[in-house]
Structure 1
Amino acid sequence: MDRNRQLEGWLAQTGWSNKEIARQVASYATARGELQVRPDASSVRRWLDGMQPRPPVPAILADIISTKIGIRVTTYDLGLGEPTADRALTYHPSWTETVESVADLGRADVDRRNFLTSAPFAVIAALGPSRDWLLNTLDQLPVDRQRVRLEDVSAVQSMFAQFQQMDVFQGGGTGRLMLAAYMNDHVYPLLRRSHTEEVRGALYGAAAEQTYLLGWMAFDNGEHGIAQRYLIQALRLSEESRDPALGAHVLAGMADQATLMGHPTEGRKLAQAGRMGLKKDASPACLADLWTLEARALAAQGDTAATVRAVAEAERAFDRIDPVSEPEWARFIDSAYVFGELANAFRDIGRPTEAAFQASRSIEAAKLQGRARRGAMSHAAMAASHVQNRDLEAAHAAGLQTLKLSQRVKSSRTTSAVRDVSQRLRAFGPHPLVSDFAERARAVIAA
């Protein structure tokens, strides 16, 4: 066996003896309930000599070294193999494990490691975290903490709007890795430091907002396994912020993803959990979003009556929105977004007149704001309504707008919208307009 120089170098930075390293591993394992992990100084010496310790020892070593030296170290850095992507699917009761899981995820994301890019979406993984968040949110006690500077948190908060704007106008594939690097270097390290109660909620809230945004950007870019892991960790961070509206917002994103991935039953449950945890009048925008996504899930299930009721609730909540009083993360929940999603719900239950009406409202708002991604998706919904009304020329014209706008952003959702229009137009058979759009769509999808 070759000596593990990587592990040796990182352990040297801790200043611990082999005996102390063994004690730290055993102590951490006990706290995690891993009572079978009982290394001694000889065990540490064998690891340094190249022997591969059995799980969960590699992950424990990464965690205790990270805590000691103040920067995130992964099992990969220690020469002990790739960390597991499944760790980020867990809603950890332990705050320490939450911090290390999300930091692991960020490091692997920036490094574009193969184990993460191939991580699958696991629908069942979202339901447990939503239950835990709801139970803990409904019965929370204040926790005493110590200190981080307010200006540190303010700097994080000021960056959020910039990254969110980048996502809205350029697509999730444009700035996600830049945001992940920013989080790794500037935000997640703050979570390991002490702070006063005064800044506690703001710090955890800022971290949750940006971790959610990372998940949303990955979702928009079609990287659903990565997105799901970020969203689960954002939900856990939001619990620590003591902000039920923020947690409900994260659940909305999880609901959207579950429905899009073909699991509308789970999508509806996640949206309902968000509504149950949302305090009365906490955020009409978030409530409108949750009802909108519940409508999308119900439509995907084919429940027309329930979809119409959910749409009415979404519109009722939307009418109560006061943008000035809403949090920064809720800014995207506007007429372009809500009406566009409601158009998709009516499309899915075969109500083309209502779908076209909602799509036109969304298209107008998106055009005024210069939002190409939303405009592309709403033009696709408009095209679908024309297909359902058997109007090929109008469907083709709306599809061309989808194509045009989709090329201005980096978003897998706009590419999916183009593909959807192309598939729907096939209902008209071998017509020159169908062939024309299919040819144009192939070029866009390939690009």
Structure 2
Amino acid sequence: MGPRGPNRQLAALLAESGWSAGELARAVNALGTKYGLRLRYDRTAVAHWLEGSRPRPPVPGLVAQVFGRRLGRPVRVSETGLESSTTAGASAEAVLGTSDPVERLTALCAADADPARRLALNREMFTAVDVRLPAWPPADEPPPGRQPGTAQSGSAHGGPAQGGAAQGESAGADARLADMVTVFAELAAKYGGAHARSALGAYVADDVAQRLTASPGSGTAGPADPAVLTGSACLMHLLGTMAADSGLPNLGYHCYRAALDLAHRADDRNVYAITLRTMAVLALRLDDLPHAQQWSQLALETAASTPSSHVRTYLYAGRALVRACGDERSAALADLLAAERYHDTEPRREAADDPLEPFTRYPTTAFHYQRGETLLSLGDRAQAAAAFQESLAVRPPAHHIALVLTHARLAEILLALGELEAALDQCTRALAHYPYTASRRTTSTLTALRRVLAPYRRHPQARGVRDQLARLTHSRPAGSGSVP
């Protein structure tokens, strides 16, 4: 963008933060890496911004985020003086500006189907102010469009490392949507978010959107059945998880927001809470601890007063990880203990008991992985390794995403414990599953693992593993390009 005169707003934020131009540039570059961007800004670039130049999206959003984290308060893009009304921004506003969740769902899926619009939308940085927490009707008062006595269903999906859980009455579930949720969730668990995501988006845009605007059984426009709303919320939740795993975290957040709105319209507190919890874990991966803390807490506060033990396990395990990353050791261990207690009290059920079984329970293998992540964040390597081994013991052999992540985690722990041979065995196991994956997260994880192995480059077997990691990940780089 061309210069517009001195940027006094940016200068004021710099003064308030106590940063130099170079420190701001480094903070933006570091955050950009979390979003899959290769940014190489320096103090000269910031000097140009101060003179009035405006970088292209998503850089203004990154600047707002790093200032917000530095200052401990929300900072909007408009406060940086870097905001501009570009064509991409106008296009994004057309998708995200509507308050109607069905219109937003349709627009999101249409944008996702177009590679250029998809990237433009992902450049629109998601902020916490985009989550408008609604008021819920009293328990004895049905929401608009719901008749008293209507069954409420619940389902949701989380990534292979975080699991999914919800609880509801199967009699109220929409069979077609439940089947599609199951199909796409299984594909994502096996192969990753970049596999079949576009197919899910097309299904939502072509089929689900029409059902959301038709009243039950009439074929005419009217309020959607709560079961259809809940199923649609689950599909948008899943689409958000797949988008984030494809290296499109902002697009993923926008899908999660649509899922929140649909869950609220269905009066499904559990799906709403599960989506907030999943957003909190994504925020952690983007080094956004304040919002991870906020959303993981709100998830527990929003959940239905009598959720299943599976839901409680999922929500407490999520907050345990967030608290561990925030150096709240005692609180994290208390949450982990609560999660374990609920997990152990939930009766084990056969899959045939419920057509939504993959999404009405928190799988044991996912729970143990989450335990491992929490314990590792607390510095308890031996216990974390034991939890990861427990997860592997019950992990389906075709869940390639989780297997890559778990073996890689074990390799890092074993290296830290000085057990090189055992670590290299875990590396080899991770590499065996990686070719089956289409996931930004697995690529980033193995790229990081290669760096951890750097001190052992003179060890013949370690050198061979590093070379294989380099060959496989080079064709699928962790970054998604640069932004001038």
TM-score normalised according to structure 1 size = 0.72
Q: Which structure would you say has the larger RCO, counting Cα contacts within 8 Å and 6 or more residues apart?
A: 2
Offset at residue 199 of structure 1 (A): 6.7
Aligned counterparts of 1:264 and 1:432: Cα–Cα separation in 2: 40
* In structure 1, C-alpha distance between the alignment counterparts of 2:253 and 2:358, rounded to whole Å: 18
Which residue of 1 is the match for residue 29 of structure 2?
Answer: none
2:340 to 315, 325, 330: 315
Q: Secondary structure at the match of 1:179?
A: helix
Q: Does 1:226 align with 2:251?
A: yes
Of residues 346, 354, 360, the one that matches 2:389 is 360
Please tell me whether residue 106 in structure 1 is matched to residue 109 in structure 2: yes
Q: Sort the Cα spacing of 1:377 and 1:151 in 2 relative to 1 into closer, same or farther, 3 A.
A: closer
C-alpha contact 2:143 2:265 (8 A) present in aligned 1: no
> For 1:417, which of 445, 451, 459 is the aligned residue?
445
Aligned residues: 357
- Deviation of residue 435 (structure 1)? 2.6
Return the offset for 1:116: 3.7
- The SS at the match of 1:142 is coil
Q: Percent identity?
A: 21
2:205 corresponds to 1:184: yes
Letter in 2 for 1:355: A
Describe the SS at the equivalent of 1:282: coil
Amino acid at match of 1:144: G
Q: In the TM superposition, what are the counterparts of 1:368-407 in structure 2 within 5 Å?
A: 368-407=396-435
RMSD: 3.0
Specify the code of the residue in structure 2 equivalent to 1:171: G
Q: Name the residue aligned to 1:36.
A: none
Asked whether the 8 Å contact 1:209–1:246 carries over to 2, the reply is yes
Name the structure 2 match of 1:143.
144
For residue 231 of structure 1, what is the amino acid of its counterpart?
A: Y
AA at the equivalent of 1:170: Y
Residue 252 and residue 106 in structure 1: after superposition, are their counterparts in 2 closer, same or farther (change >3 A)? same
- Mark the CA change 1:404 to 1:363 in structure 2 (over 3 Å): closer, same or farther: same
Question: In 2, Cα distance between the equivalents of 1:81 and 1:249?
Answer: 31
CA distance 1:115–1:402, shift in 2 (3 Å): closer
Deviates more, 1:135-144 or 1:312-321: 135-144
Equivalent-residue separation in structure 2 for 1:216 and 1:81 (angstroms): 23
Aligned-pair CA distance for 1:188: 0.8
- The amino acid of 1:230's aligned partner reads C
Per the alignment, do residues 300 and 355 of structure 1 end up closer, same or farther by CA in structure 2, a change over 3 Å counting? same
Q: 1:119 aligns with which of 119, 122, 130?
A: 122
Report the alpha carbon displacement of residue 109 of structure 1 after superposing the two structures with TM.
0.5
Work out whether residues 255 and 267 of structure 1, in 8 Å CA contact, stay in contact via their aligned partners in 2: yes
Aligned to 1:85: 92
Q: Deviations over 1:379-437 (max 9, x none)?
A: 11211221221211111111121121122221222222212322223355754344322
The answer to whether the 8 A contact 2:214-2:224 is kept is no
Q: 1:271 aligns with which of 272, 288, 296?
A: 296
1:153 to partner: Cα distance: 4.5
Q: Deviations over 1:212-231 (max 9, x none)?
A: 11111112222111111100
SS in 1 for 2:183: helix
Q: CA contact under 8 A between 1:215 and 1:227: conserved in structure 2?
A: yes
- Distance of aligned partners of 1:433 and 1:114 in 2 relative to their CA distance in 1, 3 Å threshold: farther
From the two aligned structures, give the one with the greater helix fraction.
Answer: 1
Structure 2 residue runs without a partner (length 5+): 1-86, 148-170, 476-484
3-state SS, counterpart of residue 242 of structure 1 = coil
What's 1:216 paired with?
241
Q: State the match for 1:439 in structure 2.
A: 467
**Kept in 2: contact 1:85–1:115 (CA 8 A):** no
Distance of 2:356 and 2:294 partners within structure 1: 24
1:269 Cα offset (Å): 1.7
Q: Conserved in 2, the CA contact under 8 Å of 1:347 and 1:384?
A: no
My pick for the range that moved more, 104-113 or 303-312, is 303-312
Residues 1:165 and 2:168 are matched in the alignment: no
Q: CA deviation at 1:358?
A: 0.3
Gaps of 5+ in 1: 1-79
Alpha-carbon distance between aligned partners in 2 of 1:198 and 1:154, rounded to the nearest angstrom: 19
Deviations for 1:122-148, whole angstroms, at most 9, x for unmatched residues? 4633x652x614x336676521379xx
Distance 1:350 1:87, change over 3 A: farther
Task: Give runs of aligned pairs for residues 253-272 of structure 1, distance below 5 A.
Answer: 253-272=278-297
Distance 1:220 1:283, change over 3 A: farther
C-alpha displacement at 1:155, in angstroms? 2.4
SS of residue matched to 1:407: helix
